[in-house]
Structure 1
Amino acid sequence: MRDVCLYHSGIDKNKILRAVSLVVPKNKAIREFGLIFVSPKKMAEFNLKYRRLNKPTNVLSFETGDVVVCPAVAAEEAKRYGFTQKNWMTRLIVHAILHLAGYNHQTFKDETAMKYLEDKVCGKLGFSLSGNSKSQIPNYKQILNPNF
C-alpha cells in the first residue's frame, strides 16, 4: 500500500495517490512520500544547499521520498502562465513524482518525454495545462531561469 502525508495542504490526497499509481509501477520502491510546504526563504535555503542556486524554486524532490513545494513560487508561476494555482501545483507534484520514479529532464529528449508524461497524468486526473489560451507550458530552463 502506498501512502502520502498531507498535513494542512489543501491538496487532494486521492488525486496525488492516483498520480503516484499512474506514474510508478507497483514494483517500484516508492511506497510512501511526504509533501512539505515551505516559504520562499526556506526554499531558497534548500535550493542553495542541494542545487547551489541561491533563489527559491517551485519544487524539489529527494531520494528519501520527500517533495518540498513552495506555494508562493507556484502561485507566481501559475499566474504568469495562466493556470489555476491548484492545477499548476498538482502538475509540479506530478513532476516531482516522476523524478522520484527515476525520470529527469537533462536532455531535450528526456524533457520531452517527461512533459508528455506530465500531460498524460494530468489528463487522467481531470485537467490539462497544454494549449492554455494565455501561454504554453514553459520548458524547464524557463522555469528555472525566467530570464532565459
Structure 2
Amino acid sequence: MYSITIQLAADKTLAPKKSLIRKWARAALSKQIESAEVTIRIVDSVEMTCLNSTYRHKNGPTNVLSFPFHLPEDIAVDTPILGDIVICAEVVNREAAEQHKTETAHWAHMIIHGMFHLLGYDHETDIEAQAMESLEIDTLRALGFANPYETGEDPIS
C-alpha cells in the first residue's frame, strides 16, 4: 500500500489532478517497493527559490527537489517513510513549453524522477545517471509517454 500525500501550495490550475500525480508516483514505486509513505508538495517559484537556496546553495527556482527521510536505526515502522518531493509548478510548465513537450508528459517525468531519488537513485556519475534514466524511461513508457531524454536536452535542472 502506498500513502501519497499531496500538498498544493501553488495555484492548483498549474498542476495536474491529484489522481494523476498519485498514478505516476505509484508507477515509480510499484516495481521497487511494496509499500511506502511519500509527500509531494507543489509550490510556487518563491518557495522553490528559498528551498533551492537553502538546501542546494543555488539561486532561483528549480523543477524538482527530493528530500529522502532517514529513519533512525532504533525505530521500526510498518510502512517505509521515503520522504518528500517538492515540485515547482511554474518551472515545470515553463520547461515543458521550452522543450516542446506536453505539460502532462513533463509532470509525469518530474514526479517519477523525484520518486526514484527517494528510492535511492541518483545521477551524480554517468553510470548512476544511465541506471536512473533507464528506470525513468521504462516507467514512463509503461504509462504511454515517450523517452524524455530523446530531445537532447537535460530536463533536470
Q: TM-score, normalised by structure 2?
A: 0.77
Q: C-alpha displacement at 1:129, in angstroms?
A: 3.4
**In structure 2, what residue type is equivalent to 1:5?**
T
- 1:58 aligned residue: 63
Unmatched tracts of structure 2, length 5 or more = 9-14, 70-82
Q: C-alpha displacement at 1:138, in angstroms?
A: 2.1
Q: C-alpha displacement at 1:6, in angstroms?
A: 2.7
- 1:34 aligned residue: 39
Distance 1:137 1:41, change over 3 A: farther
The answer as to 2:48 corresponding to 1:43 is yes
Identity of aligned residues (%): 30
Kindly provide the CA deviation profile for residues 61-100 of structure 1, in whole angstroms up to 9, marking residues without a partner as x: 1013110000100011111111111110110110011101
Q: C-alpha displacement at 1:16, in angstroms?
A: 2.4
Q: C-alpha displacement at 1:131, in angstroms?
A: 7.3
Q: C-alpha displacement at 1:7, in angstroms?
A: 4.9
Distance 1:18 1:32, change over 3 A: same
4+ long deviations beyond 4 Å: none
Aligned runs of 1:54-133 on 2, under 5 Å? 54-64=59-69, 65-130=83-148
* Aligned equivalent of 2:27, options 4, 18, 22: 18
**In structure 2, what residue type is equivalent to 1:83?**
K
Unmatched tracts of structure 1, length 5 or more = none
Secondary structure of 1:62 counterpart: strand
Q: Which sits farther off after the overlay, 2-11 or 117-126?
A: 2-11
- 2:153 aligned residue: 138
- 8 Å contact from structure 2 (residues 7, 39) kept in 1: no
- 8 Å contact from structure 1 (residues 19, 94) kept in 2: yes
Q: C-alpha displacement at 1:18, in angstroms?
A: 2.5
Q: TM-score, normalised by structure 1?
A: 0.82
Greater strand share, structure number: 2
- 8 Å contact from structure 1 (residues 78, 88) kept in 2: yes
- 8 Å contact from structure 1 (residues 38, 69) kept in 2: yes
Q: CA RMSD in A?
A: 2.0
Higher relative contact order (CA 8 A, sep 6+): 2
